[in-house]
């Protein structure tokens, strides 16, 4: 199974390539071959895993997202099982490798419907607290892509906004109160070192924005969310109601023409990803070139 998909403009990544690389990541992270108790990754295993993560990071954004969307669609329940079984003092490399995968997942609000589905399922119970603890403990296996802020902040935001608050120990958020306090302290130190102005400016120009822009935005946003939870106990519950209504709207309108029942058009879901909806075969065909690298079969819930 190749870990190195085609990357040139003449040989674009296919959906099959993306799924194979995602499977390879899951294999190298030992998601389906659990380590025995108190046994960590060997130096070689750790280096091989980190090398593949770095190779994927060097791909064009669309290809990179396709791989991690494929991973999100298929392997998140197994990743959650691994995270629950690993111990942070005796298995730091294996644990941090699992958390590192979460760092690179496309955010829910940037189109990762598979992550959203996972975070609302019972498979994700307790994962927000485990990941927050690992982040605060400083488990960073990779100098190029350390655990946070940035992309891990995006995952923690998603865990707070989509997982039930009842999963936490104070019923106000899915991440336990003690870990939220540690997150706030860690964020204060991180934010003190961020540039005063948003990278790329308030209105970035043509082309993809710099990665540092998302790091800056997600870090600031996570801080504000934690402040909201501290000051308004119902902050997450009320926010989730709004998010659920928005998500419901996505299932009622065609992804292409944005028309639905109110316009006299019946919409149907994509048979593979079970999420994106279309009002006609014509709209689905028009969207296929864009959708195909985001369309994967999720496991049964």
pLDDT at 109: 83
Q: pLDDT tens across 15-33, in order?
A: 999 999 999 999 999 999 9
d(CA 104, CA 110): 12
Q: pLDDT tens across 212-241, in order?
A: 777 788 889 999 999 999 999 899 999 998
d(CA 104, CA 102): 5
Mean pLDDT of the chain: 87
Query: Chain-centre distance of CA 293, in angstroms?
Result: 16
Band of residue 207 on the pLDDT scale cut at 50, 70, 90:
low
d(CA 243, CA 187): 25
- Crossing angle of helices 61-85 and 15-28, in 10° steps, is 30
pLDDT at 141: 47
Q: How far is CA 51 from CA 69, 132, 179, 217, in A?
A: 19, 24, 30, 27
| Cβ 93 vs Cβ 48: under 8 Å | no
> For 11, phi and psi rounded to 5 degrees?
-130, 75
Residue 295 has pLDDT above 70, yes or no: yes
Q: Give the contacts of 96 (CB within 8 A, at least 6 positions apart).
A: 134, 139, 140, 141, 147
Q: What is the pTM of this model?
A: 0.87
d(CA 175, CA 57): 28
Q: Which one has a higher pLDDT value, 204 or 256? A: 256
Residue 8 has pLDDT above 60, yes or no: no
| Cβ 144 vs Cβ 54: under 8 Å | yes
pLDDT at 174: 97
Q: pLDDT tens across 19-76, in order?
A: 999 999 999 999 999 999 989 999 999 999 999 998 998 899 899 999 999 999 999 9
> For 154, phi and psi rounded to 5 degrees?
-60, -40
pLDDT at 236: 94
Calculate Rg over the CA atoms of the chain.
20
Q: Give the contacts of 132 (CB within 8 A, at least 6 positions apart).
A: 156, 175, 176, 179, 180, 182, 183
d(CA 290, CA 83): 33
Average pLDDT of 144-173?
Answer: 82
């Amino acid at each position: 199974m190749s870990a190195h998909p085609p990357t040139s403009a003449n040989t674009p990544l296919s959906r099959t390539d993306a799924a194979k690389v995602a499977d390879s990541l899951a294999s190298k992270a030992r998601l389906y071959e659990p380590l025995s108790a108190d046994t960590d990754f060997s130096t070689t295993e750790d280096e091989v895993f980190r090398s593949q993560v770095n190779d994927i990071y060097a791909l064009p954004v669309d290809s990179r997202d396709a791989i991690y969307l494929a991973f999100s669609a298929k392997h998140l329940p197994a990743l959650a099982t691994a995270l629950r079984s690993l111990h942070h003092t005796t298995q730091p490399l294996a644990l941090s490798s699992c958390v590192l995968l979460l760092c690179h997942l496309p955010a829910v609000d940037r189109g990762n419907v598979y992550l959203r589905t996972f975070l609302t399922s019972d498979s994700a119970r307790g994962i927000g607290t485990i990941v927050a603890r690992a982040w605060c403990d400083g488990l960073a296996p990779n100098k190029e892509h350390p655990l946070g802020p940035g992309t891990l902040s995006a995952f923690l935001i998603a865990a707070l906004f989509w997982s039930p608050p009842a999963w936490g120990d104070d019923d106000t958020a899915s991440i336990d109160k003690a870990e939220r306090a540690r997150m706030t302290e860690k964020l204060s130190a991180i934010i003190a070192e961020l540039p005063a102005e948003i990278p790329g400016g308030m209105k970035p120009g043509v082309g993809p924005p710099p990665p540092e822009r998302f790091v800056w935005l997600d870090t600031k946003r996570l801080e504000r969310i934690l402040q909201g939870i501290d000051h308004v106990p119902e902050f997450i519950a009320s926010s989730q109601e709004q998010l659920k209504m928005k998500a419901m709207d996505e299932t009622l309108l065609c992804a292409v023409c944005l028309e639905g029942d109110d316009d006299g058009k019946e919409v149907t879901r994509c048979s593979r990803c079970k999420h994106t909806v279309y009002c006609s075969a014509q709209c689905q065909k028009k969207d296929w070139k864009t959708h195909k690298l985001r369309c994967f079969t999720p496991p049964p819930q």
